Amino acid sequence: MLDGNGGKVATIARIWRGRTLAEKADEYAVYLREVGVPPLLEHALGAQMFREDRATESEFLTISYWESVEAMSRFAGPDPRKIHHLPRDEEFLIELPEGVQVLEIALNKAPVG
């Protein structure tokens, strides 16, 4: 889908979640930024990474934005919900996630002004 100016518009969000122990969170955040996010930025329209620190663990959430499921499948493979774990995920994560969420973006509008 294209916007009014000919640019691509995100219609799909792919959401990954992972938890790590609090003492590994800073190192994992750096690892995700250096190893996990760059491939997304090469293929997706954009990506965001979030972190929530709790008493004993930290949860990371990465959202990548895609123009279509087909575009996402060219990156992720025929099943875009399937996770491709990073080489060091087992070292950092409390449990390996089994899948990602793929959501249709129902509203994508920035505030005016």
The residue with greater pLDDT, 1 or 10, is 10
The whole-model pTM stands at 0.89
Backbone angles phi, psi at 70, to 5 degrees: -60, -45
Backbone angles phi, psi at 14, to 5 degrees: -110, 120
Closest to 61 (Cα-Cα) out of 70, 51, 53, 71 = 51
pLDDT of 54 strictly over 80: yes
Residues 6+ apart with CB under 8 A from 14: 44, 63, 64, 65, 66, 72, 76, 80, 100, 101, 102
Does 109 reside within a domain? Answer: no
Number of domains in the chain: 1
Does 56 reside within a domain? Answer: yes
Copy the structure tokens of residue 112.
């005016």
Here the CATH number for the domain that contains residue 48 is 3.30.70.100
Looking at residue 2, its pLDDT comes to 42
